Amino acid sequence: MNRPYVFINIATTADGKIDTFERKGAAISSRQDKDRVDELRAGADAILVGGNTLLGELPKLTVKSEALRETRTKRGMNANPIKVGVVTNADIPLESDFIKAGPARVVIFTTPHTSRSQLEALRMNGVEIFVHDTARVDLQKMMNTLAELGVKRLMVAGGGTINFELLRQRLVDEIMIYIAPMIFGGDSAPTLAAGLGVARGEAIALKLNAVETHDDGGILLTYKL
């Protein structure tokens, strides 16, 4: 299939959590890692988040560094990558940072669960909408569409459900995991990959490509699939 190069970037604690049980977007990355992530954003054509992250955090998904934004514009690119949301019901506040922070092109993939009035409101606010006539967004079809939109390098910024589905459907080429020297615990705290899971015989195999240690005691692991 025709699709972008897809990489997941995620920060976890030493016990594999990507947030606390409160699910309020707890800070995990160090300053060094945040700078690395900003460079990843600047090098991507688009940044994608799943529904839980989109609705729960309403992330900006913009490049923070002015210098990096200027470098993009000098290359003939927009200052910020395309923001991509994948959500069954796109009940997103129209004044949220996801829609308004920028400048950036905003694309949402959704389903008929999103009301017609909300779809129209989003379009009126400059959001490009793709509605899949299925119970959930068809991720393979979505990848084809992103390729048609000119996305060659796609960064996935969470959360666990979208990570797992992309991995399960073999739509990921690389995964970068920053492991912070801290522990959250909590049975309900989210992890890197959620969803239904797979049996041991269907485990998604990773090939370690690089290991990098950070001054704060964190570790960056890069895997190929």
Instruction: Tokens for 116, please give them.
Output: 């017609």
User: The domain containing residue 43 runs over which residues?
Assistant: 5-224
Q: State pLDDT tens for residues 142-184.
A: 999 999 999 999 999 988 999 999 999 999 999 999 999 999 9
Report residue 196's pLDDT band, with 50, 70 and 90 as the boundaries: confident
Instruction: Tokens for 136, please give them.
Output: 């959930």
CATH, residue 32: 3.40.430.10
pLDDT at 12: 96
pLDDT at 195: 87
Q: Is 95 exposed, middle or buried (0-12, 13-18, 19+ CB in 10 A)?
A: exposed
Q: State pLDDT tens for residues 4-63.
A: 999 999 999 999 999 999 988 889 999 999 999 999 999 999 999 999 999 988 999 999
pLDDT at position 1 over 80: no
Give Cα 217 distance to the centre of its chain: 25
pLDDT at 35: 95
Q: State pLDDT tens for residues 59-81.
A: 999 999 999 999 999 999 999 99
Q: What is the pTM of this model?
A: 0.94
Which residue type, as a one-letter code, is found at position 171?
Answer: L
Work out the angle at residue 179's Cα, subtended by the Cα atoms of residues 61 and 32, and round it to the nearest 5 degrees. 60
Q: Work out how many domains the chain is built from and give that number.
A: 1
Residue 75 CA to residue 99 CA, distance in Å, equals 24
